[in-house]
């Protein structure tokens, strides 16, 4: 496994791999790697001949200085995780490697209108511009590849897909299923900041999503009714303060009034639990049902 700190070094290694006819997989991360990240690496390892992981805590996507200061940094352990997952190249740039003008303003940034402006945007001003900017840079450094992102950050995935498509970037964006704890809590690097009580309470998000999905299965088609079902479940957990629970179109993330086609609808939620803002989401149909639907349609 090679560890590179410069963009030029990373680009040279990946250009070299492609020159030998090898396909490249990229897993962008901010470190503090957990099994969710490992699942992205496993998928990339299976589908690509050379796998690169980037580890960079991107200051542009944090609004609150306290949030970035509290973000877990576990580089030594992360490198062990990468090595065990069969990563070929780990790109670990410093902040001035990515943003040479830092800490002065970064003059050129990326903005994806529409999909960036909803849900998480209301409480995280500029967050998706920061994500889009760093991901555009990582794509420019990596070159043609498949890039793997978790569905847990569903809005982020939608923003990245839209950017790659609008800018004709030579990158295939691959969304991968959320990995969950046994009680349903979606894995996140932020979970370590929850107290024992908060951690137990946080599982209510996945229970609320499951209730929303069950309501769709039972024939509920009103977006507002699905939101109410999810809200009701969260209301039963006093440590969890719901921000939003909505049924949205899975492509542009606009709230749907009526769930005409559950296979194109996503249920999204966000809540504050102690010091941590948690997000979660699921398809309005289970994967099994989506597969069944695809079989009937083909």
Residue numbers of the site for ligand PAF (CB under 6 A)?
28-30, 58, 61, 131, 134-135, 153, 156
Residue among 227, 232, 235 nearest 267 (CA) = 227
Two tokens, residue 16: 């070299």
Token pair 């009580």 is found at 197
Closest approach of Cβ 54 to ligand PAF, in Å?
7
Closest approach of Cβ 126 to ligand PAF, in Å?
13
Closer to ligand PAF at the Cβ: 148 or 244? 148
Residue 37 a catalytic site member: yes
Q: What does the alpha-carbon distance between residue 43 and residue 85 come to, in Å, rounded to a whole number? A: 10
Two tokens, residue 219: 């024939």
Closest approach of Cβ 137 to ligand PAF, in Å?
10
Closest approach of Cβ 237 to ligand PAF, in Å?
26
Closer to ligand PAF at the Cβ: 32 or 247? 32
CA 207 to chain centre: 20
Residue 150, helix vs strand vs coil: strand
Closer to ligand PAF at the Cβ: 68 or 290? 68
Closer to ligand PAF at the Cβ: 220 or 270? 270
Contacts of 247 (CB under 8 A, 6+ apart): 212, 223, 226, 227, 255, 256, 259, 265, 266, 267, 268, 284
CA 282 to chain centre: 13
Two tokens, residue 191: 């979970």
Closest approach of Cβ 89 to ligand PAF, in Å?
16
Residue 236, helix vs strand vs coil: coil
DSSP bridge partners of 53? 27, 90
Closer to ligand PAF at the Cβ: 50 or 187? 187
Terminal-residue alpha carbon distance, the chain: 42
Residue among 216, 211, 219, 182 nearest 269 (CA) = 211
Catalytic residues: 37
């Amino acid at each position: 496994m090679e560890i590179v700190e410069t963009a030029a070094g990373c680009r040279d290694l990946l250009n070299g791999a492609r020159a030998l006819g090898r396909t490249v997989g990229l897993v962008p991360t901010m470190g503090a790697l957990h099994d969710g990240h490992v699942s992205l690496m496993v998928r990339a390892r299976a589908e690509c001949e050379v796998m690169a992981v980037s580890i960079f805590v991107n200051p542009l996507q944090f609004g609150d200085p306290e949030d970035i200061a509290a973000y877990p940094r576990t580089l030594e352990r992360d490198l062990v995780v990468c090595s065990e997952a069969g990563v070929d190249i780990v790109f670990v740039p410093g902040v001035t490697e990515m943003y040479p003008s830092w800490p002065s303003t970064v003059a050129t940034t990326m903005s994806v209108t529409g999909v960036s402006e909803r849900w998480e945007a209301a409480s995280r001003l500029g967050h998706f511009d920061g994500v889009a900017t760093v991901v555009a840079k990582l794509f420019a450094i990596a070159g043609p590849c498949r890039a793997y992102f978790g569905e847990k950050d569903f809005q982020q995935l939608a923003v990245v897909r839209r950017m790659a498509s609008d800018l004709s970037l030579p990158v295939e964006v691959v969304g991968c299923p959320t990995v969950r704890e046994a009680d349903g809590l979606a894995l996140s690097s932020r979970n370590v900041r929850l107290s024992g009580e908060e951690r137990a309470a946080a599982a209510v998000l996945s229970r609320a999503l499951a209730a929303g999905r069950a309501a769709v299965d039972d024939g509920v088609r009103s977006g507002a009714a699905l939101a109410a079902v999810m809200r009701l479940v969260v209301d039963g957990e006093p440590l969890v303060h719901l921000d939003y629970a909505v049924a949205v179109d899975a492509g542009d993330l606009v709230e749907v009034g009526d769930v005409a086609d559950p296979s194109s609808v996503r249920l999204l939620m966000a809540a504050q639990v102690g010091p941590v803002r948690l997000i979660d989401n699921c398809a309005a149909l289970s994967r099994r049902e989506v597969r069944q639907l695809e079989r009937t349609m083909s």
